[in-house]
Amino acid sequence: MPRWVRPEVYPLMAAMTFVTGMCVFQLTRNVVMNPDVRVNKAHRTTAVLENQDEGKKYAEHGLRRFLRTRPPEVMPSVNSFFSDTK
């Protein structure tokens, strides 16, 4: 039986699987945790939501708090190597 997937296609399949997983994660996170999404019928009847604390908690998640303390550099050692004039 001939192979239906060539070995050259594996990196493309891995990249597409990774990106699809990221999209599914983000969509699931928004449906489950976003304070503006109202799936429950009781919550949909509320026209104006008064949940600023919940929205702030959603927007300031753990990864964002962690990255706020880090320097905004992708490769600090390479940046310092090329920018230092010693």
DSSP-assigned letters across all residues of 38-54 = --SHHHHT-SS---HHH
Residues 70-80 pLDDT 10s: 888 888 888 88
Q: Does residue 63 lie within any of the structural domains?
A: yes
Q: Tens of pLDDT along 5-28?
A: 788 888 999 999 999 999 999 999
**Residue 76 located in a structural domain:** no
Q: Tell me whether residue 7 is in a domain.
A: yes
Domain count within the chain: 1
Residue 85 domain flag: no
Domain containing residue 32: 1-40+49-70
Where helices occur in the chain by DSSP H, the ranges are: 10-33, 41-44, 52-59, 62-68, 76-83
